[in-house]
Amino acid sequence: GMLGHCIGGKKLGIIGMGRIGQAVARRASGFGMSIFYHNRRQLPPAVEESLRASFVSDLDELISECDIISLHCPHTEQTHEMINAERIGKMKASSYLINTARGDLVDEDALLTALENEKIGGAGFDVYQNEPDIDPRFHALRNTVLLPHMGSATFEGREASGERVITNIRVWADGHRPPDQVLDGWV
């Protein structure tokens, strides 16, 4: 009991290679992981080289080849339940799905079926479709790690968030476009 897997030498698939996806890639390379990513646009070669990351244009290929799939993209019409029964079926039986982005990226019913039937290795979640309500079926599983949407819950993280809000207000008050402007159509 209480055994896990060594992550060194494993293939990490990052879906969404923005600021957070890149931070995950930097940390993962320190553990000796091979890093692959899928994104709307391929990163510049210098950035890929610095992250030791390889672009995979076909999302299904990334999902079927990687040992760990980590989600870091926004919830949009295109990404809604992008991890569905078909894609979960393409994962290796030993693969893990990690979602710290948005709950609606994953079809939870399909994931629960796969986890209950041990079709994939496991899942780690910090976000859920019906937050703050978590589907009670997750609690009965031994192959999941569930957190209460607290991935950014540090003193430093909360202080930095507050500072960004103040910066955005100041920039807007000075008549400029805020650096963290929310655009229509983005969730």
149 is catalytic: yes
Q: What are phi and psi of 102, to 5 degrees?
A: -145, 140
What is the average pLDDT score of the chain? 90
So where are the chain's domains? 11-149, 154-187
Q: Note the maximum CA span of the chain.
A: 60
163 is catalytic: no
Predicted TM-score (pTM) of this structure: 0.83
131 is catalytic: yes
Of 86, 116, 118, 131, the active-site residue reads: 131
- Residue-wise pLDDT for 22-70, tens only, equals 999 999 999 999 999 999 999 999 999 999 999 999 999 999 999 999 9
Residue 81's region, left for phi above 0, alpha for psi from -120 to 50, else beta, is left
DSSP string, 87-101: HHHHS-TT-EEEE-S
Return all residues near 29 (Cβ < 8 A) that are at least 6 apart. 35, 51, 52
CATH second-level architecture of 11-149? 3-Layer(aba) Sandwich (3.40)
Where residue 162 falls among pLDDT bands split at 50, 70, 90? confident
